[in-house]
Amino acid sequence: MKRTLLFLLLVCLMATTGFTAAFAEAPEIVDGRFATTRQITVEIYDRAREGGSPVDNNFYTDYIKEGMLRDHNVEVTFIPVPRWTEVDVLNNLLAAGDAPDVSVTYSYPTIVTYGTMGGVTDLAPYLEENKDMLTDLWALLGDENIYWNKQPESGTIWALEAKLFVNKRINTFVREDWLKKLDIQEPKTLAEFEAMLVAFRDNAELLLGENAGNMIPYSTSFDVGWRNDHLLTSFVPEQFSEKEKYTHDFDDRHLLFPNYKEGVRVLNNWYNQGLIWKDFPLYPAGDSTEDNLLKAGYVGAFIHNWDYPYRNGQDSIHANVQRAYGEDAGYIAVEPFANDEGIYRKYLSAPIDRKIFFPATNDEPVASLLYLNFLSELENRRFLQIGEEGVTHEVLESGAVRTIAVQGEKIMNSPNNIDYTIVINGLDLGDPEKNVMSIALGYDTVDQRYIERAYALSDKDARYTKNYSVGVITAEEGMNTVLPNKRDTFLTQSVAAAADDFDKVYDTGFEDYLSTGGQAIIDERIAAFEKYYE
């Protein structure tokens, strides 16, 4: 009873003197450890990986749970969220007041939508009051990522930006053995790339024999903007101002960049020539049909994540193709799409990744920040990224780390366990030189030259996004799923349209995108940019 009365007295004192809740928790923490056990829930992506372990209960979640209980007296419960529909699911959880205490998303507009309604915790006071206990978090993310989303006038911080440590994006891949078989030079221009696709189509029997009918010169997916980015942005003029880029870059597929339509026109032309997988519009996110076609060796070229064909060890696309067609078979990264000044420009983000936030229902913000600090400690994230020596990796004489593919309880459900290391995306062993060597070695079924080439080309001639802190763009609220869905739909329809219908289909879809909210966002961004930066 006395303890309860003292606690109520303390709460009243805090309320009258303006102390933050963060400060109130400090006396209950000794050497970073709570005097009484706290409980938090943490979102974890579920990729539904075949042969994977339960994402909320496995070897790595046990490591985190045991470490948090030992170091901070905090019990952790993981809440699975499907990776490919995470925005929709998270919206539902937030609306119901059931979102995990530590939530993560790639969609900042989702956070803004609920933040403006009071549904997201302002992290600013908690970060400042507890900074001395968050040294690893601060050292990893730095002021740039911690303050990236800070509102310029209120000082509110609704989300931290995870560190994109290996700032890569996508690559263009072609079947190297098919180039050699047809005596074709590696394509360096759009015209050469298209001629290569035609050669694949016209030599299907030579390349695939009895499977010639399955020939797919070029493959893509419903996510046209992501899966064709190098081609599409090659039509963007090099002289593209920072103001124009910021005001038109809220769509991360670069849809609103100038001359983008002409890149989509090329895809439409290819589709009507029979150069693109004709069934690509039929398969939604998470479907494995395209991957199976790639593994079967039916696809000549595609654009995807920078290391996509080399992922997943013995079950990688590259490994499957080599088993089926010989050691000389496989996909190699190429660079065929130059812009109007002959530069192979890539548009890459700043070193930010997923957005980590705490819903307003989180009543343990300090414990949640200590969770992020735990993940930021080099020893902890190193273990989560590479696992146990001799089991999931070996250390070479050079100090580089070679991963070992495993099955069973110690399998990693995502590359380098990025779904657990939510504060960082990309291998970091604490030594830049060892990082690069280890990344190249991290694909145990792939010759190192393929990885080194893909690694180098992915960010060659990159233009990185700059941060412009202009506060909340209210026109973006509620648009985080509406606009991307409209974009994906009309781009897919545009690619698959009859050649004579292309302009009508594209223009109608684009105008619908703008009238639904896209133009309002552009206008508000222009006004905000001019207010703070002109």
Mean pLDDT of 77-82: 97
pLDDT tens by residue, 350-404: 999 999 999 999 999 999 999 999 999 999 999 999 999 999 999 999 999 988 8
pLDDT (0 to 100) of residue 383: 98
pLDDT at 1 over 60: no
pLDDT tens by residue, 493-519: 999 999 999 999 999 999 999 999 999
End-to-end CA distance of the chain: 60
Residues 6+ apart with CB under 8 A from 15: none
Q: What CATH number is given for 20-166+352-382 in this structure? A: 3.40.190.10
CA nearest to 112, candidates 141, 154, 149, 82:
149
20-166+352-382 with 170-348+465-470: one CATH topology?
Answer: yes
Of 12-16, 235-239, 368-372, the least confident = 12-16
Using DSSP, state whether 332 is helix, strand or coil: strand
Please provide the DSSP assignment of 7-65 as one string: HHHHHHHHHHHT--HHHHHGGGEETTEESS-EEEEEEEEE---TT---TTSSHHHHHHH
Annotate 267-304 with b (16+ C-beta within 10 A) or e (fewer).
bbebbbeebbbeebbeeeeeeeebbebbbbbbbbbbbb
Percentage of the chain modeled with pLDDT above 90: 87
pLDDT (0 to 100) of residue 240: 94
Q: Look up residue 436 and give its amino acid.
A: V
For residues 159 and 188, the answer to whether their CB atoms sit within 8 Å is: no
416 token code pair: 């380098």
For residues 410 and 388, the answer to whether their CB atoms sit within 8 Å is: yes
Q: How confident is the model at residue 448 (pLDDT cuts 50, 70, 90)?
A: confident
For residues 229 and 303, the answer to whether their CB atoms sit within 8 Å is: yes
pLDDT (0 to 100) of residue 142: 95
pLDDT at 423 over 70: yes
Mean pLDDT of 266-274: 98
pTM (2 decimals)?
0.75
pLDDT (0 to 100) of residue 442: 76
For residues 167 and 156, give the distance between their C-alpha atoms in angstroms, rounded to a whole number: 27
pLDDT (0 to 100) of residue 3: 36
Q: How confident is the model at residue 13 (pLDDT cuts 50, 70, 90)?
A: very low
Mean pLDDT of the chain: 93
Mean pLDDT of 231-258: 97
pLDDT tens by residue, 114-152: 999 999 999 999 999 999 999 999 999 999 999 999 999
CA 447 to chain centre: 25
Q: How confident is the model at residue 71 (pLDDT cuts 50, 70, 90)?
A: very high
pLDDT (0 to 100) of residue 50: 86
Percentage of the chain modeled with pLDDT above 70: 95
Gyration radius of the chain's alpha carbons: 25
Beta bridge partners of 462: 346
- What angle in degrees, to the nearest 10, is found between the helix axes of 59-72 and 365-376? 120
pLDDT tens by residue, 29-57: 999 999 999 999 999 999 998 899 999 99
**For the chain, what are the domain ranges?**
20-166+352-382, 170-348+465-470
| Domain spanning 170-348+465-470, CATH architecture | 3-Layer(aba) Sandwich (3.40)
pLDDT at 25 over 60: no
pLDDT tens by residue, 162-218: 999 989 999 999 999 999 999 999 999 999 999 999 999 999 999 999 999 999 999
Burial class (CB in 10 A: 0-12, 13-18, 19+), 172: buried
C-alpha to C-alpha distances, 371 to 32, 135, 174, 361, 430, nearest whole angstrom = 11, 12, 42, 17, 20
The Cα diameter of the chain in Å comes to 87
